[in-house]
Amino acid sequence: MPVTIAQLQKWKHQKKPIAALTATDYAIGKLLDKAGIDLILVGDSLAMVALGYKNTLPVTLDDMIRHAQAVGRGISNALLIVDLPFLSYQVSPEQAIQSAGRIFKETEAKGIKLEGGYPEMINTIHKIIQAGMPVMGHLGLTPQSVHRIGYRVQGTTTDAADLIIHQAKELVEAGIFALLLENIPAELAAKITELVPVPTIGIGAGKSCDGQILVTHDVLGLSDWQPPFAHKYIDLSSVITEAVQQYCQDVRQI
């Protein structure tokens, strides 16, 4: 049966871990769904792993929609969530509503995700939700702010941790259905998970979150760079390279 937002929230109370991964195309989406993944995120990380950019900033709303359409064709059960990319929602709440609306109208997404917890973003998220569109929050390391905060661990000081806790509460008040916590101390993630009534999904945030997500390319060994918190379950880069080398050898021996 298809996974729903209501199920995620029920699983939090049942303490049933939520398994999530990213996808960028039909083939991977279909395989993840077949393997039993609960949630698939078409993340703006596709800018790097699928399009070859150095960070997430260049990816466009049209890019996100095109990839989400492809992933959506491959899944039957997993909950499909799509990132709003950089500058598709920061200008104004009206812009954010229009961008989110395009994703819901043009893809099979059941929710969107956007970064940040400052007052202006809380207001934007509240208005998107009021317009009838489910939102997942994202705190901690927010890659769209890479030039301001870098890729380092967030929430390591008392003040920084308190701010993230405050923002998490504010996001819940705004109506988010889940909260992604990225690259923060495990103790902080555990505290937030206990405090908020919505599921927390961690990436580099320890084992106490209600669920875990990684970039699939990292899991499969297909990334150019492996974050320290991402476990590589197989080295497909070597497997594919060896297979293609064997193919080339076979062809050239004909």
How far is Cα 82 from Cα 108, in angstroms, rounded to an integer?
9
Report the pLDDT averaged over residues 24-36: 98
Q: What is the Cα–Cα distance from 137 to 92, expressed in whole angstroms? A: 17
Containing domain of residue 200, as a range?
Answer: 5-252
Binding residues for 3-methyl-2-oxobutanoate: 44-45, 83, 113
What pLDDT is stored for residue 132 in this prediction?
Answer: 98
Given 94, 108, 170, 182, which residue is catalytic? 182
Which tokens in the block code for residue 243?
A: 């297979």
pLDDT in tens, 56-77: 999 999 999 999 999 999 999 9
Domain total in the chain: 1
Q: SS3 for 180-233, per residue? A: EEECCCHHHHHHHHHHCCCCEEEECCCCCCCEEEECHHHHCCCCCCCCCCCCCC
Residues making up the binding site for Mg(2+): 44, 83, 115
Is 182 assigned a catalytic role?
yes
Annotated binding residues, as ranges?
44-45, 83, 113, 115
Listed residue (40, 117, 129) closest to 83, CA to CA: 40
The model's pTM is: 0.97
Of the chain, the end-to-end C-alpha distance in Å amounts to 49
CATH code for the domain of 80: 3.20.20.60
Q: Which of 40, 113, 49 is nearest to 74 (CA)?
A: 40
